[in-house]
Structure 1
Amino acid sequence: MIGIGFGPSNIALAIALEEMYPEVKSLFLESRTTPVWQAGMLLSGSDIQHHPVRDLVSPRNPRSHYSFINHLHEEERLFHFLNLNVPFPLRKDYARYVTWAARHFDDQVRYGSQVTGVDLPAQGEGAEIRLAGGERLTARSVVVAPGRPPYYPSALRKLADDRVFHYTRYLERVDEIAAVPSARIAVIGGSQGAAEICLDAAQRFPNSRITNVLRGFGYRQKDLSPFHGEVFFPEFVDYYYDASPESKEYLDKQLRYTNYSAADIDVLTAYHTKLYEQRLDGDYQIQLTRNSDIVSAAAAESGITLELAERHLGEPSSLDVDFVIVATGFIDLTDESGGNFLPDLLTPLSPRVGRTEQRQATIGRDYRVLPDTGKDLPPIYLNGLCERTHGLGDAGSFSLVSLRAAAIADSLSKAVAS
């Protein structure tokens, strides 16, 4: 098996294979040079948004060496962590855990390896993996986990300017922002990431001016109802997978705010308090521009100009900034006419892939990409990319990552043994 990407999804798979099917020979290819998790968003004080026991392994094997609790024990921080009066671990703490778990598999991972495509070999079975340096590798099975591509509003997609970047790169870019006196920053979006960046930038760059552009009226609190939280139960995956396309669409709308376009109440309270305090100080460092769409964007040496339109009154406005930070989430798999039918590196195989009635790729319950009628495909799996078919448990959350890894490990172990 060759795994493409070595973030949390494939780290969980490596653990599952070691504990369940140690006879499967595995190699993981990771484009980054070291194992890191959300390096651009490890903001001071920010936390994860799931129970710490929903880690890389515990829901599948609570006795595993690779649990978050054991990580704390081995780093002699367990009682210090248990003494914290916070509902969720700090993001920095979980990042250390992910790196710690990944380092156990250094002998199975090739860092700094950029995969450019997956195809069928000229002779033999399996799949051929092409690397940027021209090297080609073959494997009986491939598990693809590159993460979802970032989503940009349409007006920003054609703007090839390094001053416009996704929020996941924020900490990588802070030195550039700091080098601009009184930097003008636009933060696009109403997600938790957008609110966190506005708060961090206001403190980190005290002379900056920050404009938060929202399509909605304001921020929405994340739906943490324990009833809606059951979307992260394993049985919901079966329920969602078997539902009709119309039912999936209805469920997505009903459950959206458990994970998207919303923020935790502690972040919202801190943000709203900051805006109130600005009134007391008479210094409006952060401005909310609500109910607004980006109509167009243009780049010049002096900065980026965003043309906006108020969504309900139609009033136009213009915003000149030095940097645009896009906090509008990620792209799910689309139908065959969209821009993300499959991950780009699987494009050579797309003619062999089955289509649903909605012209989306056919994905099995075991996360395997299924072939079209009369065609063959080697065992290829999508790890962490199947929200459209498997529901919110596949939406980048840790909640079901260990059970998804188990399903893939079980399926591919049978496929490579046949």
Structure 2
Amino acid sequence: MKHQDVELLAIGVGPSNLALAIALEELAPDDLARNSMLIDRADTVVWQQGLLLPWATSQISFLKDLVTLRNPSSEFSFVNFLHASGRLDHFINMGNLWPYRSEISDYFAWVANSLSKVKVELGRECVAVGPRRDAAGKLVGWSARFADGSTVSSRYLVIAPGRDPHIPEVLAGLSADRVIHGTRYTPRLATLPRDLPYRVAVIGGGQSAAEMFCALQDDLPEADIAWVMRSLGPNALQSSKFTNEMYYPSFVDKVYGASPAGREEIRREMHRTNYSGVEPDLLQNLYSDRYVKGLAGQDRTSLVTMVDLVGAEETEDGVVLQLADRATGEITRLERDLVFLGTGFRGEMPALVRGLADELKLSEITVTRRYQLVLDEPSDAACYLQGLNEDTHGVGDSLLSVVVDRTAATVQDIVSRRHHAGRTEFADAGA
């Protein structure tokens, strides 16, 4: 079986590790960059593939790309991508700070193809990572095992797999053809005939649920679509110039430096700026569209609000949802052919990280300010968690807003560790 040795292995080829790769090529010694590898189970580099809707925007300024906040003159900037793609004039003429989501996805793929030192390998699914020890039992590195039986050993490990989709417990185990999380929206829609009168439910009150509710009206024009949520109605995300300052990289210091109770207070205050809400422009468009269709007697949608999903069963004809009215407690049944979930992601660490923590016998999973996994033993090896540290680094940790600062801090930490180790095999460690 194939085995490889690298100095740095990064699992996941999303925005976090692509920004890491840029930082390696621009900040790290050449021998480290050339002995680093990014791997991903997907065969292509695609961002938010499940909801890569043609009209969806990125909700973030193009200046918050993978490098500009650190190095505005970088060849890996979004502006240079537009220039290389022959679209810079058109983008400027749009007069919009927020690129389309598909354009950001194309940018990420362009970055992956433009790297000259860091290797990128796709179509490799990592199934487990564990510690690698010498004869004396000292932790000296990491071993990653892949679905095809191959392995990769490294001294430095960066894990950025994204969080696992959240499937409500009452829907767990139901057919994946009928219960579809937002991460699988576009692939599943591609298999469905457009002209059938499906009975559809969309579960959730956030941005992804709103996007699916909107998209389904075009993708399945004959469908009866019910948008089901716990709130009294769809709420707008709390957004202003003032709240956006909480997504500056510098705000991470305030969060990390707070007490555990203080961090929780900050999270509660920031919750509605990123969760359980919808972009105001999308809400306005949805309301206007329902109004116009209502005038013409063509509205096939409904909002089912203030309910808890308390049960579900799969039948030959579809899925029966049991909904409890939060005001009266009354239980009603909603029969649907398809159920789409805008229920976000699980709050716990991904299975890959939990498995590693178990092998290390860690009592808790936490990281330093520079995102290094805190170990219970001394080691020259180090593992870093990217986009998984909301508890310690704030709500913005999983977003593009801080990805440049986060990955630069990680690379600087690795370069510093190499320098202080003073090993002869790292000839350029002090560069």
TM-score range, shorter chain: over 0.9
1:91 is aligned to: 101
Q: Which amino acid is the alignment partner of residue 321 of structure 1?
A: R
Alignment deviations for residues 170-228 of structure 1 (CA, whole Å, 9 cap, x no partner):
11111333268211111111111111111111112110111111110111112221111
Q: Does 1:102 align with 2:109?
A: no
Contact 2:11–2:40 under 8 Å retained in 1: yes
CA distance in 2, matches of 1:161, 1:73: 41
CA distance in 2, matches of 1:377, 1:304: 53
2:413 is aligned to: 411
Alignment deviations for residues 21-79 of structure 1 (CA, whole Å, 9 cap, x no partner):
03312011110011111122121211111111000000111110000111111112111
1:400 is aligned to: 402
Alignment deviations for residues 318-352 of structure 1 (CA, whole Å, 9 cap, x no partner):
1111111110111233xxxxxx3x54355143353
Contact 1:353–1:371 under 8 Å retained in 2: no
Q: Which amino acid is the alignment partner of residue 87 of structure 2?
A: R
Alignment deviations for residues 87-146 of structure 1 (CA, whole Å, 9 cap, x no partner):
411111111111111112387011110101111235472111111111121100100010
Contact 2:256–2:369 under 8 Å retained in 1: yes
CA distance in 2, matches of 1:116, 1:382: 17
Q: Which amino acid is the alignment partner of residue 378 of structure 1?
A: A
CA distance in 1, matches of 2:190, 2:362: 46
CA distance in 1, matches of 2:224, 2:77: 42
Q: Which amino acid is the alignment partner of residue 2 of structure 1?
A: L
Contact 1:140–1:416 under 8 Å retained in 2: no
Q: Secondary structure at the match of 1:365?
A: coil
Contact 1:191–1:260 under 8 Å retained in 2: yes
1:292 is aligned to: 307
Change (3 A) 1:117 1:253: same
Q: CA deviation at 1:152?
A: 2.0
For residue 9 of structure 1, the aligned residue among 13, 16, 19 is 16
Contact 1:119–1:346 under 8 Å retained in 2: no
Q: Secondary structure at the match of 1:385?
A: coil
Q: Secondary structure at the match of 2:76?
A: coil
Change (3 A) 1:122 1:243: closer
Contact 1:161–1:299 under 8 Å retained in 2: no
Q: Which amino acid is the alignment partner of residue 42 of structure 2?
A: R
- Which residues of structure 1 form unaligned runs of 5+? 334-339
CA distance in 2, matches of 1:61, 1:393: 20
2:165 is aligned to: 150
Q: Which amino acid is the alignment partner of residue 120 of structure 2?
A: V
CA distance in 1, matches of 2:380, 2:166: 29
Q: Which amino acid is the alignment partner of residue 103 of structure 1?
A: N
1:131 is aligned to: 146
1:336 is aligned to: none
CA distance in 2, matches of 1:377, 1:157: 42
Q: How does 1:50-199 map to 2 (within 5 A)?
A: 50-105=60-115, 108-121=119-132, 123=134, 125-178=140-193, 181-199=196-214
CA distance in 2, matches of 1:311, 1:405: 43
Contact 1:352–1:376 under 8 Å retained in 2: no
For residue 229 of structure 1, the aligned residue among 244, 247, 251 is 244
CA distance in 2, matches of 1:133, 1:166: 27
Q: CA deviation at 1:167?
A: 0.6
Q: Does 1:251 align with 2:261?
A: no
CA distance in 2, matches of 1:348, 1:199: 40
Q: Which amino acid is the alignment partner of residue 367 of structure 1?
A: Y
1:279 is aligned to: 294
Q: Which amino acid is the alignment partner of residue 12 of structure 2?
A: G
Q: CA deviation at 1:353?
A: 5.6
Contact 1:118–1:128 under 8 Å retained in 2: yes
Q: Secondary structure at the match of 2:409?
A: helix
Contact 1:35–1:103 under 8 Å retained in 2: no
Contact 2:202–2:341 under 8 Å retained in 1: yes
CA distance in 2, matches of 1:362, 1:93: 34
Q: CA deviation at 1:414?
A: 2.6
Contact 2:131–2:359 under 8 Å retained in 1: no
Q: Secondary structure at the match of 2:152?
A: strand
2:371 is aligned to: 367
Change (3 A) 1:164 1:416: farther
2:355 is aligned to: 347
Q: CA deviation at 1:375?
A: 6.5
TM-score (norm 2): 0.89
Contact 1:144–1:381 under 8 Å retained in 2: yes
Deviates more, 1:322-331 or 1:277-286: 277-286
Change (3 A) 1:198 1:243: same
Q: Which amino acid is the alignment partner of residue 362 of structure 1?
A: T
TM-score (norm 1): 0.92
Deviates more, 1:151-160 or 1:245-254: 151-160
1:337 is aligned to: none
Deviates more, 1:163-172 or 1:175-184: 175-184
Q: Which amino acid is the alignment partner of residue 46 of structure 1?
A: A
CA distance in 1, matches of 2:134, 2:174: 43
- Which residues of structure 2 form unaligned runs of 5+? 1-7, 422-431
Q: Which amino acid is the alignment partner of residue 119 of structure 1?
A: G
